[in-house]
Amino acid sequence: MTDPVPFRPISPGTQPPYDAPAYLGTIKRHPKQKLHPMPQTITETTGPTFLASQFPPLADMTMPTGKPALGERIIVAGTITDENGRPVPHTVIEIWQANAAGRYLHANDQHNAPLDPNFTGCGHTFTDGDGRYRFLTIRPGEYPWRNHYNAWRPAHIHFSVFGPAFATRLVTQMYFPGDPLLAYDPIFNGTADEKARQRLISVFDWETTIPEQSLGYKFDITLAGREATPWETLK
C-alpha cells in the first residue's frame, strides 16, 4: 500500500470568496451564518454516472440546426488534471455562453442584442483517456449586466466539470487573452491572487488553430490543490 498523498490546502486569495461586495449577486447568495457540515449521503457521493453512449457529445456548437451560427468560429481545448497533475479521463464537461452578439438563449436575458436561431450556446462532451477535451463554438460577445454603472462582462464561457458525483461538480468561467474589460470585472477580480486569476484566461494557441477555419484557445483546468483553477464552488 502506498502512502496517502497529503492534502494540499488552498492558498489564501486563490479562490473567489462567497461574499464579494463588488459583485452584487453574491449579497443574496452567500451564507450569512456559520456553515454546518452536513454528512453526504449515497445520493451525493455515488452518481450520477454519465456515459457517452447515453449522452452523445455536443462538442460542435456552431451548427446545431444544420445552418451555421453567426460569429467567429473558435476552438476551445485543454486538459483536465487533478491536484497531482494526473489527467482526469472520461468525465463530463459542459459549457454555456452568450452568442456572438452577447445574448443568452434564456428567458432571463432580455438584452436587446439579437438572438441567433442557429446557436444555443450550450455544449457538453467527455474528456478522452488522457483528460483532454475540445469544443468548436462561436466567440461569445461581451454583454451589459447592470451590476454597476456601465457594467459589461468581458467575453467568457461558463464551464462545469462534473466528476463522479453531484458532490464533485465544479463551475468556473473562462476568459480571453487581452480583453480590456477584465480589469473592470468584479467576477474575474473576485479571485484576489493575481497568479490564480490568470489561470482563468485562455491562451491563444497555434497548435489548436485550424487554417482558414478557427482560431484555437487552450484552457487547461486543474481541479484542486495549490495550482487549482479558481472555482465558483470550491472554498
Cβ atoms of 202 and 177 closer than 8 Å: yes
Is 18 considered catalytic here? no
Catalytic residue among 73, 124, 156, 197: 156
Catalytic residue among 103, 139, 153, 197: 153
Q: From 64, 80, 60, select the one nearest 162 (Cα to Cα).
A: 80
Catalytic residue among 23, 73, 103, 104: 104
Catalytic residue among 133, 143, 175, 217: 143
**C-alpha distances in Å from residue 31, one per residue of 18, 81, 231:** 8, 30, 17
Is 153 considered catalytic here? yes
Is 104 considered catalytic here? yes
Catalytic residue among 124, 158, 197, 199: 158
Burial class (CB in 10 A: 0-12, 13-18, 19+), 12: exposed
Phi, psi of 6, deg, nearest 5? -60, 145
Strand partners, 36: none
As annotated, the active-site residues are: 104, 143, 153, 156, 158
